[in-house]
Amino acid sequence: MAETKLSSFKDQRWSLQGMTALVTGGTRGIGYAIVEGLAEFGASVHICARNQEDINKCLEEWKGKGFCVTGSTCDLLFHDQRQKLMETVALVFDGKLNILVNNAGIFTPKPIMDYTDEDITTTIGTNFVSGYHLCQLAHPLLKQSGNGSIVFISSIAGLKAWPFASVYAASKGAMNQCAKNLALEWAKDNIRANVVAPGAVMTILFENAAKLAGEWIMLSRIWCL
Ligand SMILES: NC(=O)c1ccc[n+]([C@@H]2O[C@H](COP(=O)([O-])OP(=O)(O)OC[C@H]3O[C@@H](n4cnc5c(N)ncnc54)[C@H](OP(=O)(O)O)[C@@H]3O)[C@@H](O)[C@H]2O)c1
């Protein structure tokens, strides 16, 4: 894969030239911004999302900016699709991955009693199980890079209680603890693990969640409690 030209670096004082990164959910919102940040510093990036058209549109935009970004579809909820994604990444990056950003996530606010088994499985599967599995799959590639870094995009909801966010919060809380265990076990392989826990960021996820949560708040009058 070609590398971003030196002249396009955001900041000449340091760079990510020669580094490779996988960003899940890179087609919009926080993931999109992460891809831009990494690519501007010279990293070669691979993204995944479920919507192929969105991926194509993003790749066109980034190509126009001179960034080295590839992409493939993957529904992270499914084990076999995660395996296929990592096979693609290994191929694209020649068996070495420096940075894994577990960013993709979903949030469907509901009162605790309304969550179904399927809701729980889908949210925990997308937000936590997928990231955990990608770490397992990426381990040989991260180790091979000699300098691996895992970043989980968690949430402030994984640290504080918010109404109608119990399952989302649990998925992020699990992620927070998992990062500590990964950092401990994989330090010997020169692989770091860190968590970023944003507050509200105006994205599609946030807008949809705020709308749904607002409806539940109106119904339950939880602000009075
Ligand atoms: N926005 C906030 O206020 C906020 C605050 C704290 C934390 N976060 C966290 O930040 C991360 C990004 O959130 P965002 O607000 O940027 O969300 P977003 O705008 O909805 O973007 C989510 C991205 O993830 C992809 N995605 C979702 N489900 C997927 C799946 N099953 N398989 C593959 N890709 C999938 C989406 O593409 P497709 O739909 O095409 O699959 C999209 O590219 C999430 O983990 C979220 O929990 C967000």
72-79: average pLDDT:
98
Q: Of the candidates 105, 218, 153, which has an alpha carbon nearest to the alpha carbon of residue 210?
A: 218
Q: Which atom of ligand 1 is nearest to the CA of 54?
A: 40
C-alpha of residue 190 to centroid of ligand 1, in Å: 28
Question: What's residue 169's pLDDT?
Answer: 98
Q: Ligand 1 pocket: which of 203, 204, 207, 208 to mutate (most atoms <8 Å of CB)? A: 203
Domains (range + CATH), the chain: 16-224 (3.40.50.720)
Name the residue with higher pLDDT: 199 or 3: 199
C-alpha of residue 205 to centroid of ligand 1, in Å: 6
Helices (H), the chain: 29-40, 52-64, 79-92, 117-124, 130-145, 166-186, 204-220
Q: Is the CB of 17 under 6 A from ligand 1?
A: no
Bridge pairing between strands 69-73 and 44-49: parallel
- Where does the pLDDT of residue 62 fall: very low under 50, low under 70, confident under 90, or very high at 90 and above? very high
Q: Of the candidates 48, 34, 37, which has an alpha carbon nearest to the alpha carbon of residue 15?
A: 37
Looking at every residue in the chain, the average pLDDT score rounds to 93
